[in-house]
Structure 1
Amino acid sequence: MSFNLRLLTNQYWFRVLLSICLSVVVTLFGINRSYVWMGIAFSALLISIWWQLQLYRHHTRQVLFMLDALENNDNAFHFPEDQGTPESRQINHALNRVGHILYNVKSETAQQEKYYELILDCINTGILVLSDSGAVYQKNNEALRLLGLNVFTHIQQLNRVDSNLTELLSSCQPGDKLQTSFANERETVNLSIRVSDITVRKEHLRILALNDINTELDEKEIDSWIRLTRVLTHEIMNSVTPITSLSDTLLSLAKTKDEEIRNGLQTISTTGKGLLSFVESYRRFTRIPAPEPSLFYVKAFIERMVELGKHQNPNGNISFQVDVSPADLILYADENLISQVVINLLKNAIQAIGSQPEGHIAIRAYCNVAEEVMIEIKNNGPSIPPEIAEHIFIPFFTTKEGGSGIGLSISRQIMRLSGGSITLLPGKETKFVLKFK
């Protein structure tokens, strides 16, 4: 390359020196009043200048053509390297090399951008890059999933999800650490948001990192309840067991004539045993066995659950609908534990419908875009009021007379141990969603 450049430089100086020599010759012939030779020399000078201009224009057009082709992602151009003067062939060869280098640089840049996009789509953190005007410069699949959007090009599109979320993301500043919650069509989402910024090509951009903290909050809440339940049940069992045992001993020693004392001891014993049975039911919440997952077909599994559910509907006023897509959908989980969750949800749905005519329970199973198995169970019974829906997964919370309040708590714990989640969707109908990751 250095040899070709040196040769081109020598040829360039040769044309310049030729033009200078012709100018000197024209001047000398003019001084000597040799007008004929002066005209011939002047004509040669004009031809030399015209020749250089033509070469300049030709090479300029070639360079512009190459730049236009590269800008349009066209790398099929090729200047002939075996035609024209040696100088033209060398210039064409140099332009071909420059075009090839620039195209490779552009291709590598595009590949790096695609590589970084793939990395962003593989992480569990949602990434948004916003301009100060609200335009979305970059986003990954996790951000779209968290926000419940398929297309996201401007911050104002979040008004379809939650107007408060639009205002929050529009006004956040670099360095902010925020938390917010909103409800989409599938669930209530709790987000933590961290904001940073960068200036690219003199334009200020904000980078938002979005994280779903639902799972983290649920795990902390469940762990707290488990620890509390263990302490309470341990203390209650330790206190009540001796009382029950002592009352039974006194009953065996009491004489028949002490009827009033005997009745009191009998009451203490019966109440104590009932309390022990009551506490034992709560201990199940902290003693769920570790899941032993295996592969099983979802359709056959749900059909068995429906048959069990029908036996809990003595009135026969409830119809069941099962929709599994695809029909050979497979789930990897502990079938016995998951059956407890589904049976509990079906039992709750049957109790909610009660004797209502034309009761209906629909079970739908499918695989979402994230390849997660989803099982939806909904019924047309009375909807759960929002003020109650907030507490249904809290251990010991119940609105049923005689209920223990641990059914949904155990269900949530089982789903957590199985690496999934259980959610009550907001709306007019009662719909629970089991998600298996």
Structure 2
Amino acid sequence: MKHIYRHITDRYLFRLFTSLALAGIVALSAIYRDIPWTVLSALLLLLSIRWQWKLYRRYTQKILFLLDAIENNDTSIHFSEHEDIPDNRIVNQALNRVASILYNVKSETAQQEKYYELILDCISTGILVLNDAGAVYQKNNEALRLLGLDVFTHVSQLVRVDAQLMGLLTHCRPGDKLQTRLSNERGTVNLSIRVSDITIRQEHLRILALNDINNELDEKEIDSWIRLTRVLTHEIMNSVTPITSLSDTLLTLIQGNEELKMKSEPISSDKETAEEIRNGLHTISATGKGLLSFVENYRRFTRIPKPEPSLFYVKGFINRMVELARHQYPDSRISFRIHITPDDLILYADENLISQVLINLLKNAIQAIETEGTSEGIITLRAYCNESEAVLIEVSNNGPAIPPEMAEHIFIPFFTTKEGGSGIGLSISRQIMRLSGGSLSLYPGKETMFMLKFN
């Protein structure tokens, strides 16, 4: 490239000096009043200037044509390198070289941008890049998923999702650490937002990192309940066990004494006193044993075995769970609709533990439909893979929807609205899913729908 530049420079310097020499000759001829030389040198000077002007316009047009082609991504641009005029051939070679360099730089820049986009789409943190006017410069798939949007070009679009969130993102400033709750058709999301900034090409941009902290909150909540349950069950068991044991011992002694007194004809008052004592001890014993059974049932919440995952077909698994539910409720008039996509969908999890989750959800759905007295009860089960290749299983029914004020508490251990219910079914189910590396969520809507997600 240097020798081409030097060659072109030498040729232009030669032409410049030639033009200056002709201008000098014209001036001297005019001074000495040599008309023929003045006319001749003036004509030669005009021809030189006209020739250089044509070269300038030709080369300028070529450069502009090259810039337009690069701007429009036209890679077919090419100047002939086999012209008869050496200057044109050299200039064309230089322009082709420049075009090649610029195309390579542009291609490398586009590849780098694509590379960074792929990296952003692989991370589990949502990324948004906004300017001060609220326009979206960059976003990744996780950010769209968290916000429940398919297209996102301006913050004002969030007014359809959550007006409070729109105001939060509009007025957030670098260094802010925010937290908000977002509800959409995909469920409730607790968002953690961190804001930083950068200036590019003299434009100020804000970078927002969005994280779903639902799982983190769920894990802390479940761990707290487990610790509390362990303490309570330990203390209750320690207190109740001796009471039941002592009441059983006293009942045995009373029964022995009664047998002896029956032979010696006891007084009626002694009989009444013994009967009261016996009834009281029976009550203590029965209540204590019932409490022990109650506590032992809750103890299961803290003793879920470690999952032992294996591969199994989802279709056969769901069919078995449905048949088991039908067997448990033979009198229920409920139809099951099963949709598996693809037909040979495979899941890697602990089949025994996951069966407890699905059986519990089916049982709750059947009971909800029967309690409401729905004439045509329908339970729908769908299993499929999402875009990130996670396996999803949806269990929905056309029974009454869970009220919003109850939906926030259904996963809390021991919370129940059913008479005689233990209130630990959904808590254990969510803990099983958490231990299996997945999640269990309730999705609000006209119908009650639970979703099992296996990452």
**TM-score normalised by the shorter chain: which range applies?**
over 0.9
Match of 1:145 in 2: 145
Asked whether 1:407 is paired with 2:396, we answer no
Q: Which moved more, 1:255-264 or 1:343-352?
A: 255-264
1:384-415 residue CA offsets vs partner (Å, 9 max, x unmatched): 22211111111111111211111111001001
- Aligned counterpart for 1:378 among listed residues 385, 389, 396: 396
Counterpart code for 1:297: Y
The structural deviation recorded for 1:70 is 1.0
1:86-122 residue CA offsets vs partner (Å, 9 max, x unmatched): 2322222222211111111111111111111111111
The structural deviation recorded for 1:33 is 2.9
The structural deviation recorded for 1:85 is 2.7
The structural deviation recorded for 1:193 is 0.8
Q: Which moved more, 1:237-246 or 1:405-414?
A: 237-246
Contact between 2:332 and 2:370, CA under 8 Å: does it hold in 1? no
TM-score (norm 1): 0.96
- The answer for unaligned runs of 5 or more in structure 1 is none
CA–CA distance in structure 1, aligned partners of residues 92 and 320 of structure 2: 77
Match of 1:101 in 2: 101
The structural deviation recorded for 1:180 is 1.0
The structural deviation recorded for 1:382 is 2.3
Counterpart code for 1:360: I
Match of 2:262 in 1: none
Counterpart code for 2:124: N
CA–CA distance in structure 2, aligned partners of residues 158 and 370 of structure 1: 24
CA–CA distance in structure 2, aligned partners of residues 94 and 36 of structure 1: 42
Q: Which moved more, 1:353-362 or 1:214-223?
A: 353-362
Match of 1:271 in 2: 287
Q: Which moved more, 1:145-154 or 1:36-45?
A: 36-45
CA–CA distance in structure 2, aligned partners of residues 326 and 82 of structure 1: 61
Match of 1:331 in 2: 347
Cα distance change on mapping 1:249 and 1:201 into 2, 3 Å:
same
Match of 1:302 in 2: 318
Q: Give the SS at the match of 2:414.
A: coil
Following superposition of structure 1 onto structure 2, how do residues 239-254 of structure 1 map, counting pairs within 5 Å?
Answer: 239-254=239-254
Match of 1:292 in 2: 308
Match of 1:156 in 2: 156
CA–CA distance in structure 2, aligned partners of residues 433 and 188 of structure 1: 13
CA–CA distance in structure 2, aligned partners of residues 27 and 353 of structure 1: 110
Q: Which moved more, 1:90-99 or 1:273-282?
A: 90-99
Match of 2:265 in 1: none
Counterpart code for 1:373: V
Match of 1:219 in 2: 219
CA–CA distance in structure 2, aligned partners of residues 131 and 89 of structure 1: 47
TM-score (norm 2): 0.92
Match of 1:419 in 2: 437
1:254-312 residue CA offsets vs partner (Å, 9 max, x unmatched): 32263332332222222111111111111111110111111111111111111111123
Cα RMSD of the aligned pairs, angstroms, is: 1.6
1:360-398 residue CA offsets vs partner (Å, 9 max, x unmatched): 212122222232221111222222222111111111111
The structural deviation recorded for 1:230 is 0.9
Contact between 1:129 and 1:137, CA under 8 Å: does it hold in 2? yes
The structural deviation recorded for 1:57 is 1.4
Match of 1:131 in 2: 131
CA–CA distance in structure 2, aligned partners of residues 196 and 237 of structure 1: 53
Q: Give the SS at the match of 2:150.
A: coil
Match of 2:380 in 1: 362
Asked whether 1:68 is paired with 2:68, we answer yes
CA–CA distance in structure 2, aligned partners of residues 20 and 298 of structure 1: 90
Match of 1:434 in 2: 452
The structural deviation recorded for 1:253 is 2.4
Following superposition of structure 1 onto structure 2, how do residues 3-42 of structure 1 map, counting pairs within 5 Å?
Answer: 3-42=3-42
Contact between 2:336 and 2:379, CA under 8 Å: does it hold in 1? yes
Match of 1:389 in 2: 407
The structural deviation recorded for 1:128 is 0.9
Q: Which moved more, 1:44-53 or 1:144-153?
A: 44-53
Q: Which moved more, 1:285-294 or 1:201-210?
A: 201-210
The structural deviation recorded for 1:123 is 0.7
CA–CA distance in structure 2, aligned partners of residues 214 and 382 of structure 1: 26
Aligned residues: 437
Following superposition of structure 1 onto structure 2, how do residues 166-245 of structure 1 map, counting pairs within 5 Å?
Answer: 166-245=166-245
Q: Give the SS at the match of 2:180.
A: strand
The structural deviation recorded for 1:5 is 2.5
The structural deviation recorded for 1:334 is 0.8
CA–CA distance in structure 1, aligned partners of residues 250 and 148 of structure 2: 66
Counterpart code for 2:64: L
CA–CA distance in structure 2, aligned partners of residues 352 and 302 of structure 1: 20
Q: Which moved more, 1:237-246 or 1:343-352?
A: 237-246
Counterpart code for 1:213: I
CA–CA distance in structure 2, aligned partners of residues 428 and 88 of structure 1: 75
The structural deviation recorded for 1:127 is 0.7
CA–CA distance in structure 1, aligned partners of residues 119 and 113 of structure 2: 10
- The answer for unaligned runs of 5 or more in structure 2 is 259-270
CA–CA distance in structure 2, aligned partners of residues 380 and 54 of structure 1: 82
Q: Give the SS at the match of 2:195.
A: strand
CA–CA distance in structure 1, aligned partners of residues 117 and 419 of structure 2: 54
Counterpart code for 1:423: S
CA–CA distance in structure 2, aligned partners of residues 156 and 4 of structure 1: 55
Match of 1:115 in 2: 115
Q: Which moved more, 1:329-338 or 1:211-220?
A: 329-338
Q: Give the SS at the match of 1:392.
A: coil
1:54-87 residue CA offsets vs partner (Å, 9 max, x unmatched): 2111111111111111111122222222313323
